[in-house]
Amino acid sequence: MQYFLIKSEPSVYSWDTFLQEKQTFWSGVRNHQAKNNLKLMKKDDLLLFYHSNEGKEIVGVAKVLTEAYKDDTAAETDKIEWVGVDVVPVETLKKPITLAFIKADEILKEMLLVKQSRLSVTTVTKQEFERVLELANM
């Protein structure tokens, strides 16, 4: 089991929209590091869903439904084959975990979310993942 964190601007695709749609193809990633992380995903891996720009907090947990496959939203002229994964919502955090809170927590401040703030798909350790859930459900 692996854990990841995916970022989305609420104005583009919010957690609420995701809940309503019940499933989405996570695509549009145009960064190699992020793409590599997408390719690492296996069915049933868990994802933290983070709202960037507005909110700046982890709002929910999602699950990987399918491994990465071709992202058809990429331009034909693009020589690189970009990928996406199908994901479904698992649970909404009782208490969203804000970035400020993450930075103040001894364990969570080491997250790649903080260290590589521009990367839209980052890996999360088991310890970090469990820490987020623990704090969110207190």
Query: What does the binding site for DNA look like in residue numbers (CB under 7 A)?
Result: 7, 9, 30-33, 52-53, 56, 99-100, 103, 116-120
| Identity of the residue, 11 or 66, whose beta carbon is nearer to DNA in the bound complex | 11
Of 22 and 118, the one with the shorter C-beta distance to DNA is 118
Question: In angstroms, what CA-CA distances link 50 with 79, 81, 99?
Answer: 30, 25, 9
User: To the nearest whole angstrom, how small is the minimum distance from the Cβ of residue 130 to DNA?
Assistant: 22
Closest to DNA by CB, 88 vs 119, is 119
Nearest distance, CB of residue 3 and DNA, angstroms: 18
- What lies within 8 Å, CB to CB, of 94 at 6+ separation is 136, 137
Cβ contacts of 47 within 8 Å, gap of 6 or more: 3, 4, 5, 6, 61, 62, 63, 64, 87
Residue in 48, 45, 43, 35 with CA at minimum distance from that of residue 91: 48
Could you tell me the smallest distance in angstroms from the CB atom of residue 1 to DNA? 25
Q: The tokens of 28 are what?
A: 């549009």
By C-beta, is 30 or 63 nearer to DNA? 30
Rounded to a whole number of angstroms, the minimum distance from the CB of residue 54 to DNA is 8
